[in-house]
Structure 1
Amino acid sequence: MPDGRQALLAAATHAFACHGFDGADLRSFAADAKVSANLVRVHFGNKAALWEACLDRVVAVGLPAMAGVQKIACDSARPLSERLCAVISEIAHFYAANPDVRDFVVRHASEAPERAVLVSDRLLRPAYATVRELFSAGIEAGIIRSPHPALFFALLNAALNQPPAFPMLLNRIAPEIDPETSRELLIETTIATFLHLP
C-alpha cells in the first residue's frame, strides 16, 4: 500500500515535528493517516526506523530548496546585496510553505544527541554550506555585521522561522497589520534589520 505508507510518513513527520520523538505515538500516526496501526511495523519495523524515514522525507523536501538557494548565492552576475535579499526571501518562503519540515528540524536538532547529529549532518550543515560563502562576502563588504557567517545563518533562520499562526498572532497585537501581507512584511523587515545595504 504505497499510498498508506506515504500517508503514514506525512502524519508521522507532522507528529514528530509537533511533539518530538518521545511525545509522538504510533497509534496516533496511524489514526491521522487513516491506516491500520500495524502498517507502522509492516513498513518501518519500529518507531526509530519510522523517524529515520521521516528524516529522509524532510531531506527530500529540503534538497531542492537548498539547490535553489545555492543557485541564487552563486549567481555572480547579480550584485551581492541583491543575492542576499533574494536568499532571505527564498528561505522565508520555504519555511512558510513547509512548516512540518521547519518544525521537524528545529525540534530534532536539539533533542537526543543521536537524532541531532543526523539532522545536523543531513540538513543543517548542507544548508549552511549553500550560503556560507555568500554570507562571508556580505560580512567582508560590511552588508552583514556579524563576526562569523554561522552566527548570521543561525540568527536569520531564527527570525524567519515563524509558526504558521504568525500572521494571526501579529494581527492580535497590531490589528492594523493585515494577516495576508504579514509574511511579506516579515521578509522586508528582516532584510531591513539584518542587512546594511548601501
Structure 2
Amino acid sequence: MRTALSKRESGASRKPKRGEVSALDRDLVPERIRAAGKIATCPFVSCGDTDSRYALQTMSSPPPVARRRGRPKAGEAVDAGAILDAALRAFARHGFDGVSVATLNRELGVSHNLIHQRFGSKAELWRAAVDHGFGRMVRHMEGVFDPTISDPLEQLRLAIRSFIVFSAEHPELLALMDIEARQDTDRLAYIYETYMAPMYGGIGRLLEYLIAEGRIREVPLRTFHFLIAHGAIAPFTLVPLAEHFDARSPMKPRAIQEHAELIADLIIAGVRTDAGTQVEAHQENI
C-alpha cells in the first residue's frame, strides 16, 4: 500500500496536482512550462558540457555557498539553487528519512531555521529539490532532437546518447530514484506522474512508430527504461565499483562520451530488425 506523507511532513500547503509544478520552485522552472502549468512532454534530454562535479561520491558534502563572514540572518537572500542542489544530493545519498534539515543548514553555513523559512517542512524541501533537479532535465529535453536528422532510428540513437551524457552530469537524479523506487510511496508517485510519464510519452510513441514500420523489434517501454536509466548510466552513480573494473574514472569527459556512443550503438544494433538495417544501407547509398 502506498505510504502517504505524514501531516507533519507535508505541512499545511496544498499538494500539487498531477503535472503541476511546485510553487516553491516556480522561479527555477522554465517560463513557458510555468505558464502552461505543467511539465512539457519530450523524450529524454540534450547533452551539455560534461564534467564530474555532480559525481555521486561528492554528494555527502554540499559545496560552500559564497557569502560574507558570519551566519546570514534568516531573512537574508541565499541562492535557492545552491540550497536545492545540496538538498537533492543529500536526499539522493541518505534518503528522505536520513536527511536532517538542521545538519543541512550547518553544512551550508546558514542560520538554523533558514531552510524551514524558505521551503517549509522537509517534505516541501524534498519536493522543491525534485522540481529543481528534474526541471533542469526538462530544459535539456526541449532541444534533444536534431531537425536535420530525418531517420527516426537515428533520432532514437541521439536520444539515448544524450540522456547518458546528461545523466553523467547529474547522477544524483538516478541515485534518488534508486532510493525512492524501492517502495510505492507518494514521493515515487510524484516523480513518476510529474516527470517520468510525460518524458516517456514521446519516446514511447517513437518506439511504437519504429515497431509499426518494422524497423525495430518489439521493445516494452519498461524494458527500454531499465536498460538505459538503471543499466547504462549506473557507472556514474557507482563510481567506486566502476573503477574496480577499470581504474580510469568513468566521470572523465572522454570516458563519458565513449560510453554513451558505445551504449547507443549496442542498443540500436540489438533492437534493429533486418528491415531496419536495409533502410539504413539504402539511405547511406543515396
The two structures have a TM-score, normalised by structure 2, of 0.59
Q: State how 1:18-167 maps to structure 2 within 5 Å.
A: 18-69=93-144, 71-72=145-146, 75=147, 77-111=149-183, 113-141=185-213, 143-164=215-236
Secondary structure, in 3 states, of the residue corresponding to 2:142? helix
Deviation, structure 1 residue 42: 1.2
Structure 2 counterpart of 1:191, one-letter code = A
How has the CA–CA distance of structure 1 residues 115 and 4 changed in structure 2, closer, same or farther, with 3 Å as cutoff? same
Distance 2:104 2:98 in 1: 12
* Paired residues of 2:149 and 2:155 also in contact (CA < 8 A): no
Aligned to 1:188: 261
* Paired residues of 1:143 and 1:195 also in contact (CA < 8 A): no
Deviation, structure 1 residue 121: 0.8
Q: Please say which structure displays the higher CA radius of gyration.
A: 2
Question: 1:3 pairs with 78, 83, 103, which one?
Answer: 78
How has the CA–CA distance of structure 1 residues 171 and 130 changed in structure 2, closer, same or farther, with 3 Å as cutoff? same
Higher-RCO chain (CA-CA 8 Å, sequence separation at least 6): 2
Distance 1:155 1:28 in 2: 36
Deviation, structure 1 residue 156: 2.0
* Paired residues of 2:87 and 2:129 also in contact (CA < 8 A): yes
Identity across the alignment (%): 25
> Which is richer in helix?
1
* Paired residues of 1:99 and 1:164 also in contact (CA < 8 A): yes
Distance 1:141 1:52 in 2: 40
Q: Deviations over 1:60-115 (max 9, x none)?
A: 2121122223x44xx48521232111111110111011122332334324445110
Q: Deviations over 1:20-50 (max 9, x none)?
A: 1001111221122221221122112211111
* Paired residues of 1:9 and 1:53 also in contact (CA < 8 A): yes
Q: Deviations over 1:137-176 (max 9, x none)?
A: 333455544442332133222223224366664453245x
- CA RMSD in angstroms comes to 2.6
* Paired residues of 1:132 and 1:150 also in contact (CA < 8 A): no
* Paired residues of 2:171 and 2:237 also in contact (CA < 8 A): no
Distance 1:171 1:183 in 2: 14
Distance 1:115 1:165 in 2: 21
Distance 1:191 1:143 in 2: 16
Deviates more, 1:42-51 or 1:181-190: 181-190
* Number of equivalences: 194
The two structures have a TM-score, normalised by structure 1, of 0.82
